[in-house]
Amino acid sequence: MSWAVEEWKEGLSPRVLQKIHELESQVDKLKKERQQRQFQLESLEAALHKQKQKVENEKNEAATLKRENQSLMELCDNLEKAKQKISHDLQVKESQVNIQSGQLNSSKKDIERLEQELKR
């Protein structure tokens, strides 16, 4: 079949044949270059897609971490409020204990005084 492709060149001058050969070589070279660039383009597109996917994953992870951080902040606020309530309750109970301790000491003194009076 290649003989049919080459048949049209019969009878052409050597100078024209040389020019045709140069042009054909240039076409082959350009085809190879185009293939290489097409491969580079496909590789770059794949890398871009991979980077976009990576960015999307990072965005999702950042959103998840932001939600988790918000949840933890709310938990910390709730724990701080509970701590303050417990601290207040402790102060109230300590105050009650001090009052009762004072009453106990007063009662002990009264008992001692009464015991002393009884002994007399």
Structural domain total, the chain: 1
Task: Give residue 94's identity as a one-letter amino acid code.
Answer: E
Instruction: Confirm whether 5 is domain-assigned.
Output: no
Instruction: Confirm whether 25 is domain-assigned.
Output: yes
Instruction: Confirm whether 85 is domain-assigned.
Output: yes
Task: Give residue 33's identity as a one-letter amino acid code.
Answer: E
Instruction: Confirm whether 61 is domain-assigned.
Output: yes
Task: Give residue 116's identity as a one-letter amino acid code.
Answer: Q
Reported confidence tier of residue 11, pLDDT bands at 50, 70, 90: confident
Instruction: Confirm whether 3 is domain-assigned.
Output: no
Share of the chain above pLDDT 90, in %: 87
Instruction: Confirm whether 99 is domain-assigned.
Output: yes
Task: Give residue 49's identity as a one-letter amino acid code.
Answer: H
On whether the pTM is more than 0.85, the answer is no
Instruction: Confirm whether 91 is domain-assigned.
Output: yes
- Its sign, for the CA torsion 62, 67, 68, 72, is positive
Instruction: Confirm whether 6 is domain-assigned.
Output: no
- pLDDT score at 1: 47
Q: Which residues constitute the domain of residue 60?
A: 11-117
